[in-house]
Structure 1
Amino acid sequence: METVLLFLGLMAVFFGAEYLMRKLLKVEKVVLSETPGGKISNWGREIILGAALIAIFLFLDVFDDAILWFWIFYFLALGIIEAFLEWRYFPDSKSYLVSLLQIPFVIGFLLITIYLLS
């Protein structure tokens, strides 16, 4: 039960921080899937997931913290590709800044969750 409450609390903080960042930067949420970048985003996510899954199976026995590094790499790569595509397909919007600012939040929450659960 504590794990569920921790997860829900961190998600509430994350979405609250995203809302606050959008208000402070005066950025509206953009929909990437309505542009040609939507297909590129989907392909990028699939390629990143495939590469990350292959890497985790290769390094699972070598590193004790392979799962942690898997999630860090996965969220970092997803955040970077999302920010790049928002910058590319919405040049007048600053939504890519919010995507870039979310990366440290996601990785920080991941590290907090792993630390508190271990």
Structure 2
Amino acid sequence: MEYVNELYKIGASTEDIIILAKLLKPFAPHLASEILEKEEADDKWPEYNEAYLVSDTVQLIVQVNGKVRAKLEINSDDLKDQEKIKELALSQENVQKYLNGEPKKIIIPKGAKLINIVA
């Protein structure tokens, strides 16, 4: 409705009406189809590029004794290097605060985005 109100204020172009009809299509398909037919526009949704869906960084959660103590942003290529992940996790200030010396065990499941440290 806000978009429609803005179109009333500034005066809607044909392109604006086509965009509105495409946005309305999931909610009011028959009305949107009629508008698109009247404007002689295509009835297709925009295509997407899968290359933009892949993220370069991954967020890892670091737990100490089952409680979240830190979050790491690392490069997705570094997920395979478990030693580097361990170093980064243990170097976090908040993790160091809850460790009493050396950790007993560090659990990093393959493909997971969670590091569990048992102190």
TM-score of the superposed pair, with normalisation by structure 1: 0.27
Using CA pairs under 8 Å that are at least 6 residues apart, name the structure with larger relative contact order, 1 or 2. Answer: 1
As a proportion of its length, which structure holds more strand?
2
TM-score of the superposed pair, with normalisation by structure 2: 0.26
As a proportion of its length, which structure holds more helix?
1
